[in-house]
C-alpha cells in the first residue's frame, strides 16, 4: 500500500511545532470539508487525507512512530526489526492477544462509505492501538466530522447523525465549540464483542463568517462610522453574532481605533456564563455627493487648519 507523506498533506515542514500543525489543519479542514467544498468528490478525498494526517502529527506517540519508519515502513515490516514496534505480530488477518482489529470496513459498516482513515494508517497504527482494547471486547471509538456556523457555535445547536443499520442520533452541541473541539458521545461508537460499545467523538469545524474573525473566545469585526459622528462623538451600532449593540464613541475618534465590548464575544466552551470580548475596529466613512453649501463649509474648515493642507 502507498506511503503517505503526512507533512506534505498538511503543507508543513518536518520540524513544524504543534501550533503550526494545528493552524494548517484548521485551514485545510475548512477548505475541503464536503459541506463547503464546491467539488464534493475532491473535498471528501482531501478532507479524509487532512484528518488522517492531523490524527498522526498531532499525537506525540503516533508522530514518533511515523517519523521513525517514514517511507521505510514496508522494509521495517518485512524484516520485523523495527525497535519496539513488532510488525510481525500485525500481518493482515491476525488479531494479537485475541483483540479485535480496527479497519476502515468497521467505520464503513457504521457510517457507510467514506471512512476517515486509509489502509496505510490502519496498518501502521490500527493493530497496535487495538491492543489497548480490553479483553472483554469493548468496541472501538470512532470520529465523525461536524461543521457548524459561527452563529450555531455561539448559541449551541443540534445535529442528527444517521448510522447505517442503526438508530438516528441527535447530538446536542453546546455553545463555544471551536475548530478541533472534540465531543464525546458515550456508547455510540463501534459495537463491542459481547462487551460495551465504544464512543463516538464529534470533531468540530466552524465555518468562517464574513462579518467576524475569531481569536479563541474573542471576536473581531469592523464598523463604518460617519465622519460627523467620528468628529463630534456619538452613538454607533456594532453587529453581534446574535443581534446588535449600541455604544458611544468619544469626539475625534480616529479611523483604526478599536472599541472593546466586554462579554460580547464567543461563549467559553464548557464554562456556562463566561464569554470572550468583541473588538470593533472603526472605519471613518467620508461623505459623498456633497452639496455646494457643504463644500463651502469644508473650505472654511480648511482655512482654519492651513497646516494640514
Query: For the chain, what are the domain ranges?
Result: 213-308
pTM of the model: 0.56
How confident is residue 126, by pLDDT bands cut at 50, 70 and 90?
Answer: low
Closest CA to 131 of 89, 193, 185: 89
Topology of domain 213-308, CATH: HSP40/DNAj peptide-binding domain (2.60.260)
Task: Give the phi and the psi of residue 214 in degrees, each rounded to 5.
Answer: -100, 140
State mean pLDDT over 215-219: 95
Q: What do you get for the CA distance between the two ends of the chain, in Å?
A: 71
Q: C-alpha distances in angstroms, 119 versus 78, 199, 259?
A: 17, 22, 51
Least confident of 85-89, 123-127, 131-135: 85-89
Q: Is 271 helix (H, G, I), strand (E, B) or coil?
A: coil
Predicted local confidence at residue 117, as pLDDT: 59
pLDDT tens, 166-176?
678 899 999 99
User: What is the mean pLDDT of the segment spanning 286-292?
Assistant: 93
Q: Which of 97, 120, 98, 116 is nearest to 108 (CA)?
A: 116
Residue 226: predicted pLDDT: 95
259 CB-near residues (< 8 Å, 6+ apart): 223, 236, 238, 247, 249, 279, 280, 281, 282
- Cell 494640514 belongs to residue: 308
Q: Averaged over 204-229, what is the pLDDT?
A: 95
Amino acid at each position: 500500500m502507498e506511503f503517505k507523506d503526512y507533512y506534505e498533506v498538511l503543507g508543513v515542514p518536518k520540524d513544524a511545532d504543534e501550533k503550526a500543525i494545528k493552524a494548517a489543519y484548521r485551514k485545510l479542514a475548512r477548505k475541503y470539508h464536503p459541506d463547503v467544498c464546491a467539488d464534493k468528490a475532491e473535498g471528501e478525498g482531501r478532507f479524509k487525507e487532512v484528518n488522517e494526517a492531523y490524527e498522526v502529527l498531532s499525537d506525540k506517540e503516533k508522530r514518533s512512530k511515523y517519523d521513525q519508519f517514514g517511507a521505510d515502513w514496508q522494509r521495517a515490516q518485512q524484516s520485523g526489526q523495527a525497535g519496539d514496534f513488532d510488525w510481525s505480530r500485525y500481518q493482515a488477518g491476525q488479531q494479537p492477544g485475541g483483540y479485535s482489529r480496527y479497519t476502515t470496513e468497521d467505520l464503513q459498516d457504521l457510517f457507510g462509505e467514506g471512512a476517515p482513515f486509509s489502509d496505510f494508517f490502519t496498518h501502521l497504527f490500527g493493530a497496535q492501538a487495538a491492543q489497548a482494547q480490553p479483553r472483554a471486547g469493548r468496541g472501538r471509538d470512532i470520529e465523525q466530522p461536524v461543521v457548524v456556523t459561527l452563529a450555531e457555535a455561539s448559541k449551541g445547536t443540534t445535529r442528527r447523525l444517521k448510522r447505517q443499520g442503526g438508530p438516528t442520533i441527535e447530538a446536542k452541541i453546546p455553545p463555544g465549540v471551536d475548530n478541533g473541539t472534540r465531543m464525546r458521545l458515550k456508547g455510540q461508537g463501534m459495537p463491542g464483542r459481547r462487551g460495551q460499545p465504544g464512543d463516538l467523538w464529534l470533531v468540530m469545524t466552524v465555518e468562517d463568517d464574513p462579518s467576524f474573525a475569531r481569536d479563541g473566545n474573542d471576536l473581531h469585526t469592523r464598523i463604518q462610522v460617519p465622519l460627523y459622528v467620528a468628529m463630534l462623538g456619538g452613538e454607533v451600532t456594532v453587529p453581534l453574532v446574535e443581534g446588535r449593540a449600541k455604544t458611544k464613541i468619544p469626539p475625534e475618534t480616529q479611523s483604526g481605533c478599536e472599541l472593546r465590548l466586554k462579554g460580547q464575544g464567543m461563549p467559553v466552551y464548557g464554562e456556562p456564563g463566561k464569554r470572550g470580548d468583541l473588538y470593533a475596529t472603526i472605519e471613518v466613512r467620508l461623505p459623498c455627493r456633497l452639496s455646494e453649501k457643504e463644500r463651502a463649509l469644508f473650505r472654511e474648515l480648511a482655512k482654519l487648519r492651513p497646516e494640514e493642507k
